[in-house]
Structure 1
């Protein structure tokens, strides 16, 4: 009795309290298939003796105390019938504390020592639930099926067993088998919360199987329970049921009333974010974008912890603005979407990439719209230009005047209105005086006409503070009014006093050049070269937009529009052929076969020798991967770059840049050419090339990389000052060769390598480095001091003796230059060898 009503009673109370805490911490994710059991497994690692929940620790302590102190094992038989329940409490406490291996040990102990226990079926169920947590779903299914087959269990035990079996089936993706078990569990459980959960999971599964009617039956079963279950299940059952509404064949008026009833029910206020989102989705499916946008924003304005819902609303609004070509606003919504998502997940990376791609769209759409507007304005007669700008400046003046007046009125109100604290103090003093209580140290002052002390009176107009406050409140509410009948009418405002001020404001504003039409007329381009430059920039923006919409967003209709607009504007020749080829591919994607054939014919007839014509004539030849493809040419050119054939790389890159104008590979050829120029001609040539790439291809990967180089690398690379030899740790010896002298550099390197091999106390290496188009260096690396470098150079000139003792001419007598490695990098970078030699 002491075990049952003292130790185990307190242990079970602690267990229930801990389970309630687990339930409160678990947030239902109705966007995914719900788990059968309301508990999330944490990946946190705890040391022995540590616990996640103090209540479970207390329950475990009580169970252990019952076993150790109250156990009555006499002659190998337990005489206390409560010990099996103590082991069950021990296993449950460890299970909810997510220590599944010790929990398994506790359950197995009951099965081994107390096979006749009245709790034996519960123990078997808990053991298999623990087994599932240890990823042994197959074993759990086998044993639970055996239990259901061999034992005659009913009621809550049957519900628990079939629910556990359903979870095991869900774990192995056998969802149809899980449905049958959930049906039994829902029929037999006595816990309303569990019944609602089982029905909801069934509804979710039926939706996955496409059985909407069956799913709605399950959701209706939840709705019928109403206040007997958590409100979240009730609301989400309504939401899921509404998702199954047939928009085409259903009664839309009745459905709209159903949604409106959900919205207006006061009990649903905590869930208005989801209800508003569902209403927004309904209006969007009916092509009512304006209404849907209102409800998406309503959903976002409701305070919610459901970040996934917020991300859906932000993303949908972003997509809506993107479809309407309002890219800046779309980008802002995508930014907000990412703040509500888990970083570095796949959906997050998709939105992030889409947002980065949108930067290019915003940039080029801005150029296209601005330049189109300028060219359209320039094409108008002078009189129409003046009329448009006059109307524009008049609108600006009215807005500026209104804004300035509002600002002055707000400032005036703020100055004249007493602070809240002052008003409270004044009201307190007035009340005090009205009761005849003067502040200490004050006395009544006689008033004329026998009135007495007006401040002590309760009459409103005797207190100057309340009178001033009343005047301010009147002005705020009614404004300046003339002293006459019908003063409340709107047309009776006393605006005469403000006329002079308005005239002064207008005078000040009209002096601003922003409101002078001539300012805008003077800013319009006038020369043909300016028109051509604007048109060229606009055309290139159209081309880039066509490529971005086609390749990055798969918006084929938008891409087609941009390419067609481009061709209508007579672009430069370099954009015509790639635009036509892209249009050909777009026509095929959009099913416009006649247009595709016409474009194909035009390309073949007008550009018979082009790479695009070859691809169209031989579509199966995969010319994109043959020796004429930009990929192959770039790879071969890069190999030449690695072999220091810089002049050849520069020449060939220029040819390919012209040939593949408009292709995505052009920026790669540009950056390879810039690197080759830098190696051959020095820092200034490299800087010029990188700046060109950063400006011309600003929104490509190479252009962004060039911008990073300008910001981070060029400031360090541009330093020309040589460092002192004492500050360096590595040194080189340089042998200089003229490229056109006919000397055999390779033979010299072979001889030098032989001499280097004889030096065992240094780890020396040699290399052949191109200095400029006329000079090549053969360099020895790995020396530790400037004296050592000079000593090594002199050592190579030292006379040697043969086996007979005769002096022989040394193998290397060529002049050398000793230099530190940092200074060698500087002369290679800036091609300033002569400047270095002058300092020696």
Structure 2
């Protein structure tokens, strides 16, 4: 009975269907034509483009973050189930392709792949086909789109435009869905791509708004949740919300069961946690990435990242070191020994074991190269060790080697700048060292000189004896076969004698000049110019650095016949006073530059301060000393006021009538508060003293007021009145310096404006006539360091007494670096300057 009933129902169904004719314009037929004609071609073109990108892509593990989704995992249209990205098992040989366009580290979206015989790219064809499907097969009734395939067409349109880096245009197709397909059950997928388009535009606020609304939806399908978690986490990372991105990646890891995708999620999560300084959590995440990895490259890189998370303090360094050394010798991992030794070097460096770290990095360089970037990073780490020991020349040499082999461009750009800075520092450093050595010998007693050079000669003899012993050993070993028969040798397994690197098979390598030239260029790129010697990979580098040091110090590399005579060296010590002073001046100038470089290039304020104070203590020339003291104060007055105080007091004591002195008195912006009656009384007193020609008493009153009330609203008025006092007591030039400082410090105040007006007036006076008490001209031709002319109608007026309207004021300007005045003040001219004696420290 059941079979009979089923048969009858089936027959009735077909009969009923046949009674209704399907017209070509019906939604059913339109959907059929849309998919199996135009829409199919759009989807096929998009898949072709993504497969092409897959083949050209290699994961970049040196970028700050890897990308999550790979191009071969992108769902086409609304076909989430058709993608491998959400299956529990990966297809054999699945490729780790590039991520979502625009994600951190992802390549550019636009490509140059074009169809043969066509001027359009593959993505443009996919876009055009999607537009054609929408135009030809749309079925609009009562403001609703009835052809369900138009949803796929608009999603494909959005995808093709996003991959062309046109996210704004991609929103057009999605908006069509929101306006005309409001009841479609797949609408959340359109919202996901809407959020993706916003994130590609950099509009993270709208993107997060779209993703957050979807996250709270209870009707979201499981596949949609998986896709949302991936796009949402990447958007949060691009927006700089690392903590939220970590949380979202945890959800993504729990939802997605695909091992390959889980490995990428865990790896990215570990990178973010490491950047936040959460090493233990990052290590756990990298371990998860390693366990889920079905790709050899991911396994190795995960192990390296695990090594980077050890800080050597509370971690089991010894256990981790033994583990990495053990697995580096196992099976296929042995081909990546250089990378594992690099990881071991990083662990040792973080544990404070510098010598052990250096040995691991050197061992990594000896192993077969698997990745040029790793080789460059080894050179960089060794160079960084020399840099921390202030051996800048050696550091620069290793940095240059790193630049020659590194492949990751951002790292190369940063290292290039640092290498240039180190070269400038090295030039100053070795000039100082050389001149210091010479000056020390100048001041050394004769007997001490002889003892010093006798010790130096003994060292030369010992070195030459060792070199002679090594030469004899090399002579005895001549004739023995020292060929390289290891598995990595180019001669291993070659039955034809020499390996042919050219196009002609069986030819002699060195008979082909083009292949020889390529080989030499490749060798220089990896190793630089090396001399032929044993252990050339390491020993040549050490000797070349030694040669560079000797050259920087002015030491001859070729042996001199008189090198074993004490008199040979003593004769070279300068005795001419001018020559000695020239050496000292060059040393002092180089030391000033070196101190500034430490702060500017490396932000090493303590070392910069120490270097500059050492210069100040050697009693350099006045200009050099003032520049050094100013630099010390400028570097430290906010970071370390105690270190700046000594420089401040020395400037005030030794260079009181300079703009530097004005700067150290008021180095930063001040926000002035309401003035009190007591301060107003002090200002009135100072003003009356000025009016009574008691300029020194007025200055003392002002100095007392500024010391007691440094943030009062009348501080600018005090400064301006003090400038007038200086004009009367110290002269026009000192007054100009103080007015310039007022114009800079209080630019937005009435006093600042007044100072600028007075500067224009004073600087226009090329010469001023001096008069006696009767008004007679005493020296009409000589410019005078005096106050402005006594014509009351022409001279600028002193600042007036304060009133209620000037009791509160804000100063918002920043004090720039002051200028050094070229002319001395009258007081400095009257001071006897002692001659520079031969006491040179």
TM-score for the superposition, normalised by structure 2? 0.51
Residues 208-241 of structure 1 show CA distances to partners (whole Å, capped at 9, x for unaligned) of 55544443443332222132xx444444443443
SS of residue in 2 equivalent to 1:153: coil
Relative distance call for 1:354 and 1:378 in structure 2 (3 A) is same
Q: Is 2:130–2:153's contact at 8 Å kept on the other side of the alignment?
A: yes
Which of the residues 47, 55, 72 maps onto 1:16? 47
Q: Is the 8 A contact 1:203 1:214 kept in 2?
A: yes
**Does the CA contact (< 8 Å) of 1:543 and 1:575 recur in 2?**
no
Residues of 2 paired with 1:108 and 1:204: CA distance? 36
CA contact (8 A) 1:104 1:130 kept: yes
Cα distance in 2 for residues equivalent to 1:26 and 1:232: 10
8 Å CA contact 1:542–1:563 kept in 2: the answer is no
Q: Where do residues 589-628 of structure 1 align in structure 2 (5 Å cutoff)? A: 610-611=654-655, 621=665
Q: Structure 1 residues 76, 266: CA separation in 2 closer, same or farther (over 3 Å shift)?
A: same
* Alignment counterpart, residue 139 of structure 1, candidates 182, 192, 206: 206
After TM superposition, the structure 1 = structure 2 runs for residues 121-132 of structure 1, keeping only pairs within 5 Å, are 121-132=188-199
Deviations 1:727-777 (A, max 9, x none): xxxxxxxxxxxxxxxxxxxxxxxxxxxxxxxxxxxxxxxxxxxxxxxxxxx
Whether contact under 8 Å (1:3, 1:82) holds in the other structure is yes
1:32 to 51, 64, 68: 64
Shift of residue 158 of structure 1?
A: 0.8
Please point out which of 319, 326, 341 is paired with 1:254: 319
Alpha-carbon offset, residue 376 of structure 1? 6.6
Higher relative contact order (CA 8 A, sep 6+): 2
SS at structure 1 position matched to 2:202: coil
Paired residues of 2:636 and 2:644 also in contact (CA < 8 A)? yes
Alpha carbons 1:203, 1:218 under 8 Å: kept: yes
| 1:225 equivalent in structure 2 | 292
**Distance in structure 1 (CA, Å) of the matches to 2:466 and 2:782:** 61
* Preserved CA contact (<8 Å) 1:156 1:190: no
CA distance in 2, matches of 1:553, 1:630: 35
> What SS is found at the alignment partner of 2:64?
coil
- When residues 635 and 29 of structure 1 are mapped into structure 2, their CA distance, relative to the original with a 3 A threshold, is farther
Q: Give the aligned partner of residue 92 of structure 1.
A: 159
Q: Which residue of 1 aligns with 2:229?
A: 162
Offset at 1:313?
4.9
Of the two, which has the highest radius of gyration? 1
Contact 2:139 2:147 in 1 (8 A): yes
Cα RMSD, aligned residues only: 6.2
Cα distance 1:402–1:575, how it changes in 2: closer, same or farther (>3 A)? farther
**1:615–1:623: 8 Å Cα contact kept in structure 2?**
no
Alignment of structure 1 residues 487-526 onto 2, 5 Å: 514-517=560-563, 521-522=567-568, 524-525=570-571
Q: Name 1:279's counterpart in structure 2.
A: 344
Check 1:371–1:53 CA distance in 2 against 1; reply closer, same or farther (3 A cut).
farther
1:462-483 CA-partner distances (Å, limit 9, x unpaired): xxxxxxxxxxxxxxxxxxxxxx
Distance in 2, matches of 1:550 and 1:145, equals 52
Instruction: For 1:60-99, list aligned pairs within 5 A.
Output: 60=127, 62-64=129-131, 66-67=133-134, 81-99=148-166
CA contact (8 A) 1:223 1:234 kept: yes
**Mapping 1:433-472, distance limit 5 Å:** none
- Deviation, 1:283, is 1.8
Structure 1 residues 72, 202: closer, same or farther in 2, change over 3 A? Answer: same
Instruction: Tell me the residue number matched to 1:368.
Output: 436
Distance 1:181 1:424 in 2: 58
1:7-406 paired onto structure 2 within 5 Å: 8=39, 11-23=42-54, 24-25=56-57, 27-29=59-61, 31-35=63-67, 38-41=99-102, 54-60=121-127, 62-64=129-131, 66-67=133-134, 81-117=148-184, 119-150=186-217, 152-207=219-274, 210-227=277-294, 230-268=295-333, 275-297=340-362, 313-335=378-400, 342=410, 349=417, 352-369=420-437, 372=440, 379-380=447-448, 385=453, 389=457, 392=460, 395-396=463-464, 399=467
Q: 1:17 and 1:668, CA in 2 relative to 1: closer, same or farther beyond 3 A?
A: farther
Summarize the Cα distance change of 1:243–1:612 in structure 2 as closer, same or farther, 3 Å threshold: farther
1:282-317 deviation line (CA, Å, top 9, x unaligned): 22233332332233355567757776x777655543
| Cα deviations by residue, 1:532-578 (Å, 9 ceiling, x for unpaired) | 6676566556645654454331567767887898899x878979987
Equivalent pair of 1:393/1:517 in contact (CA under 8 Å): no
Q: Is the 8 A contact 1:539 1:566 kept in 2?
A: no
Q: Answer whether contact 2:392 2:425 (CA < 8 A) is retained.
A: no
TM-fit CA distance, 1:321: 1.8
Q: Distance in 2 between matches of 1:101 and 1:261?
A: 53
Q: Which residue of 2 aligns with 1:553?
A: 598
CA distance, structure 1, for counterparts of residue 441 and residue 818 of structure 2: 31
Contact preservation (8 Å) 2:598, 2:607: no
Q: Structure 1 residues 328, 8: closer, same or farther in 2, change over 3 A?
A: same
Contact 2:428 2:591 in 1 (8 A): no
Give 1:160 deviation, angstroms: 1.0
Cα 1:198/1:412, change in 2 over 3 Å: closer
